[in-house]
A = this chain, B = another copy of it.
Amino acid sequence: MNRIINDPDDVVEDALKGLTAAHPDLLAGTAHPRVIRVAGAGAVGRVGVVTGGGSGHEPAFVGYVGPGLLDAVAIGEVFASPTARAFEAAFKAADGGRGVACLYGNYAGDNMNVKMAVRLAARDGLAVRTVVANDDAASAPPDERGKRRGVAGEILMWKTAAALAAEGADLETVIAVAQKTIDATRSVGIGLSACTIPAAGKPNFSIADGTMEVGIGHHGEPGIAVRPIAPARAMAATMMETILADLPFARGDDVAVLVSGLGATPVMELYILYAHVAEILAEAGIRVRHRFVGNYFTSLEMMGASVTLTRLDAELDRLLGAKARSIGLTVTGDA
């Protein structure tokens, strides 16, 4: 395994040193070694917005801490949930006196630890409410949405909720807009090659050369189907069929589109995929209002990509366009 690491057990600690050293204008450490908060004043006088999750998905999760985005993040080991204590510490780091919204992905470990952390925070009088992202349309049937995983759609949920919090909304309103965002969001991924957790030293799943796994999860969770590798336009068609039918999206809808690489896919290929996604949306009479293409939510050096669509109303459209600054997503409001 040719990688840029020291002791494989130290990758998270070593990366956090680099993250805080590289971005003193965005990120600040806290008393908890696995909690990073926004530099500066933070959420004083407004609702705090928090997430947490395993490492290895960078720029998620820590890369979305910044003005107009997340106030704090709890950080787990590679592909593992943060602890309950880390989530609790993140809540406290994000507390500006008006409660905290914890917006996270639907994984067993995260669910358990967030629940525990919410109870711990409540004992200290801190009100935390949660929204669980379940945008991965491939991970369970439509009538079992509660079983679906959260993937790159979480980013759009963080963006809208944080923008509303910045406007001074109360906790209930921030939670409602986060829920509205994720309810209007569907994602699907395609995996082309596996990845290796440094401490494991070899992939814990495999994708054979010449095949692709439709609906693969961010940690190699099995998808819907293993198929022969197809041209980009066929990949896009397969992905769009899955997500358009699921919400369903309809002619006349306004949407945001997020195409994220899973880590190793060359950036030019993400744009090839986006070109086909845009064509399919144009043919379907769906109007793209916001476009994000890049490595937004990765899985170490997995090859492949995810496509995320969010149906927008005027409020979500406005909140996605609000100014924000972070490692993973900066909106200048200039365009």
Contacts and interface: CB of A to CB of B under 8 A. Distances in A.
Interface stretch (A87-95, A150-158, A293-301): A293-301
Contact of A15 (B2, B265, B272, B300): B272
A266 B334 contact: no
A298 B25 CA distance: 26
Interface stretch (A41-49, A54-62, A167-175): A54-62
Contacts of A6: 231-233, 272
Nearest to A329: B330
Interface string A170-212: 0000000000000000000000110100000000000101111
A1 to B, nearest CB: 8
Given A2-B209, A330-B330, A11 B263 contact: no
A318 B128 CA distance: 43
Given A263-B266, A325-B334, A335-B325, A272 B4 contact: yes
A335 B334 CA distance: 17
Nearest to A195: B266
Nearest to A263: B266
Interface of A: 1-7, 11-12, 14-19, 21-23, 25-26, 55-56, 58-59, 63, 67, 192-193, 195, 207, 209-212, 229, 231-233, 235, 263-276, 278, 291, 293-295, 298, 300-301, 303-305, 325, 327, 330, 332, 334-335
13 contacts: A1-B209, A2-B192, A4-B192, A4-B235, A4-B272, A6-B231, A6-B233, A6-B272, A11-B272, A18-B270, A21-B275, A22-B278, A325-B335
A211 B3 CA distance: 10
A270 B270 CA distance: 21
A265 B18 contact: no
Query: 7 closest Cβ contacts across the A-B interface?
Result: A18-B271, A25-B335, A18-B275, A264-B264, A2-B192, A58-B267, A4-B269
A304 B263 CA distance: 13
B207 A2 contact: yes
Given A291-B22, A301-B264, A269 B5 contact: yes
B293 A193 contact: no
Contacts of A271: 14-19, 22, 58
A325 B251 CA distance: 32
Contacts of A22: 271, 274, 278, 291, 293
Contacts of A63: 267
A192 B335 contact: no
Contacts of A335: 25-26, 325
A263 to B, nearest CB: 6
B21 A278 contact: yes
A286 to B, nearest CB: 14
Nearest to A291: B22
A278 B15 CA distance: 12
A306 to B, nearest CB: 12
| A271, A298, A335: residue with the most chain B Cβ atoms closer than 10 Å | A271
